[in-house]
Amino acid sequence: MRSVAWSNNCLTLLNQTLLPNKVETIACNDWRRAAEAIRRLEVRGAPAIGAAAAFALVLGAREQAALAFPEFKSNLQETAEALRQTRPTAVNLFWAIDRMLAVLEGLPDTADSAAAIQALEQEAITIADEDKEMNAKMAAFGASLFTSPTCVLTHCNAGALATVDIGTALGVIRQAWKQGNITRVFADETRPLLQGARLTAWELMQDGIPVTLITDNMAGWVMKNKMVQAVIVGADRIALNGDVANKIGTYSVAVLAKEHGIPFYVAAPSSTFDFKIASGSDIPIEERSATEVTSLGGNCVAPQGVHVFNPAFDVTPHSLVTAIITEHGLLHAPYDQAIHQLSKLCK
Ligand SMILES: CSC[C@@H](O)[C@@H](O)C(=O)COP(=O)(O)O
């Protein structure tokens, strides 16, 4: 089952807020429902959000089918603006929306709306298909980093649920596992929303890959006791200098890895690079509701009215990153040069 699927003009999303207890899908026939799903994290993970937004724009376009092209176009631009407001950090969302709008811009004012819908649908399908290809290429490049049996630690969920296919970090793990070079994965539970416990542990268990779940504050002790030899995570946005935004807690894991002399790898497709920003300090960090911190499994675990800080992401400085795995190969420091080269390939 895919996290994002498109058929018969319907966007089907696997409802990730219910996993692992319930496996339920959401049928989106309206772009507003898809936008809501992104906002609520029913679909989440940078590449999956991008693909979902692209298909949401196809739904939006179909709603305007009866209009003449100029009006169709301006209404769809408004829909795109609304979709941009759903989540701020993962750049894949903006990248996918920009690609869809570029298709729209490429059509003449005399175009008819039916042809525009067809072109937009084709672009959304291409975005999803390309994500699958990028997953496979990253998996192959990333697996080459593991040449002997290794225990790895991961944070959040950068797997099939977060992408259109096998995942970024978990795609690499899957491939290295097939090659006999992963012995076990330690999954941080990833408070507050438990993507590691609910999603990563679930995905890996389904594939029969040995996984050990730990709470976030156990990672240091696991490293100290030499229970892992590498860390691999995904990313939501990577700046030109190689600074990496990923799920809150990633930065702490990177600092711990440095202290223990453990390599810290990031797996991310080119769609996760923001070639317009110089460093991680330019990355907008989403802040989410206090209730995500004050409650656990629907139960309140903090005093009523307590002040809460709930950033959903943090930025790991490039100095802590051993290598970035992309579909074009492995990037190493100096990252500004490597990412500049990558930006040329992506033009
Ligand atoms: C391949 S997904 C990489 C990241 O998107 C993932 O690690 C992450 O931080 C997801 O955050 P989320 O808030 O669950 O959307």
1 pLDDT band (50/70/90 cuts)?
Answer: confident
Is residue 45 within 6 Å of ligand 1 at its C-beta? yes
Q: With 80 as the cut, is the pLDDT of residue 84 above it?
A: yes
- For 229-252, write each residue's pLDDT tens digit: 999 999 999 999 999 999 999 999
* Domain identity same for 36 and 166: no
One-character DSSP codes across 218-259: GHHHHHHTT--SEEEE--SEE-TT--EEEETTHHHHHHHHHH
Q: With 80 as the cut, is the pLDDT of residue 148 above it?
A: yes
Q: Which residue in 170, 118, 153, 209 sits closest to 325, CA to CA? A: 170
* Domain identity same for 78 and 165: no
The predicted complex's ipTM stands at 0.99
> Which of 134, 163, 193 represents a domain boundary (last residue)?
134
Is residue 247 within 6 Å of ligand 1 at its C-beta? yes
- What is the edge-to-edge ordering of all strands in the sheet holding 244-247? 237-238, 244-247, 313-316
* Domain identity same for 171 and 106: no
CA angle 178/15/81 to nearest 5° reads 110
At which residue do the structure tokens 């629907």 appear? Answer: 298
- For 323-347, write each residue's pLDDT tens digit: 999 999 999 999 999 999 999 999 8
pLDDT of residue 280: 98
- What is the total count of domains within the chain? 2
> Which of 87, 118, 134 represents a domain boundary (last residue)?
134
pLDDT of residue 347: 85
> Which of 134, 160, 177 represents a domain boundary (last residue)?
134
- For 182-235, write each residue's pLDDT tens digit: 999 999 999 999 999 999 999 999 999 999 999 999 999 999 999 999 999 999
Q: With 90 as the cut, is the pLDDT of residue 31 above it?
A: yes
Is residue 52 within 6 Å of ligand 1 at its C-beta? no
Residue 33, domain CATH: 1.20.120.420
Is residue 156 within 6 Å of ligand 1 at its C-beta? yes
CA of 54 to the centre of ligand 1 (A): 18
The structure's pTM equals 0.98
At which residue do the structure tokens 């207890």 appear? Answer: 21
* Domain identity same for 78 and 150: no
CB neighbourhood size of 128 (10 A):
24
* Domain identity same for 102 and 156: no
* Domain identity same for 124 and 153: no
CA of 114 to the centre of ligand 1 (A): 35
* Domain identity same for 145 and 283: yes
Cα 158 from Cα 284, distance rounded (Å): 20
Average pLDDT, integer, range 150-175: 98
* Domain identity same for 123 and 227: no
Residue 221, domain CATH: 3.40.50.10470
Cis before 20 (ω within 30): yes
* Host domain of residue 162: 137-345
Cα 219 from Cα 194, distance rounded (Å): 15
Ligand 1: nearest atom to the Cα of 170: 1
Q: Which of 165, 188, 236, 274 is catalytic?
A: 236
Average pLDDT, integer, range 256-283: 98
Q: Which residue in 138, 150, 213 sits closest to 180, CA to CA? A: 150
pLDDT of residue 297: 86
* Domain identity same for 124 and 261: no
* Domain identity same for 126 and 187: no
Sign of CA dihedral 336, 45, 12, 94: negative
At which residue do the structure tokens 């175009």 appear? Answer: 111
* Domain identity same for 119 and 150: no
CA of 74 to the centre of ligand 1 (A): 31
* Domain identity same for 100 and 195: no
Q: With 90 as the cut, is the pLDDT of residue 157 above it?
A: yes
